[in-house]
Copies of this chain bind each other. A is one copy, B any other.
Amino acid sequence: MKISARNVVEGTVEGVEEGAVMANVKIKIESPDVITAIITKESIKDLDIKVGDTVKAIIKSTEVMIAKE
C-alpha cells in the first residue's frame, strides 16, 4: 500500500506516555534526532506500540512549515 503523504521516516519507539485519551510517542530516527507524535491511546493499543518497535512516522507535506534565520 502506498500513501500520498510525502514524508515517511522509519525509526524506533523510545518512549510512550499515555493520558486518558491521547498519547505522546517518541520515535528515534537517528541519533540524536527524535520525532514526537501525538496520537490516540486507542491507536497505541490497536497497533500495539511499545518501546523498541520499528515504526514509520508519517507526515502530510501540507503540515510542514519552514523557518529560516
Residues of A within 8 A of B (CB): 1-9, 17-25, 27, 30, 33, 35-40, 42-43, 46-49, 53-69
Report the minimal beta-carbon distance from A49 to chain B, rounded to whole angstroms. Answer: 6
Q: Is the CB of B62 within 8 A of A57?
A: no
Task: Give the secondary structure class of A's interface.
Answer: strand
User: Are B47 and A66 in contact, with the CB atoms below 8 A?
Assistant: yes
Residues in B neighbouring A68, C-beta threshold 8 A: 1-2, 47-49, 53-56
Q: Are B22 and A7 in contact (CB under 8 A)?
A: no
Contacts of A53 in B (CB 8 A): 68
Pull 22 A–B residue pairs with CB atoms less than 8 Å apart, ordered by A. A1-B1, A2-B47, A3-B58, A3-B65, A3-B67, A4-B43, A6-B36, A6-B42, A6-B43, A9-B33, A20-B20, A21-B21, A21-B38, A27-B66, A39-B65, A48-B68, A54-B68, A56-B68, A59-B59, A59-B65, A60-B65, A62-B63
